[in-house]
């Protein structure tokens, strides 16, 4: 998954802001993590979010992004 994520980043490196946050999101809600809250803005037109990780994480991250206003078609989940 890291290779695919890196390829996607390299395609748009001048237009992407990348954040990698390691936390136990099964125990802690994303909204409770200040790093996540600071790194993830509310949706703006033209913004796309890319999520990568285990299925349980990506499902939780997708729900979090949707609560921040991201439409489903602006969220890309990489395996």
pTM for this one?
0.74
Q: What is the pLDDT of residues 55-66, one digit of tens each?
A: 888 999 999 999
Is the per-residue pLDDT at 12 higher than 90?
A: no
Give the residue, 70 or 17, on which the prediction is more confident. Answer: 70
Rounded Cα distance between 27 and 29, Å, is 7
In terms of C-beta distances under 8 Å and separation of at least 24 residues, what long-range contacts does 7-16 make, across chains too? 8/50, 8/76, 8/78
pLDDT of residue 22: 66
Looking up tokens 């001048």 gives 14
CB neighbours (10 Å) of residue 70?
Answer: 20
Q: Write down the mean pLDDT value for the chain.
A: 84
Q: How far is residue 60 CA from its own chain's centroid?
A: 10
Place of tokens 């099964």: 26
């Amino acid at each position: 998954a890291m290779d695919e994520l890196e390829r996607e980043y390299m395609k748009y490196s001048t237009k992407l802001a990348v954040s990698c946050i390691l936390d136990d999101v099964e125990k802690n809600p994303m909204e409770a993590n200040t790093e996540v809250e600071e790194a993830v803005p509310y949706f703006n037109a033209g913004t796309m979010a890319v999520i990568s990780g285990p299925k349980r994480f990506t499902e939780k991250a997708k729900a979090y992004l949707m609560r921040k206003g991201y439409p489903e078609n602006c969220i890309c989940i990489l395996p």
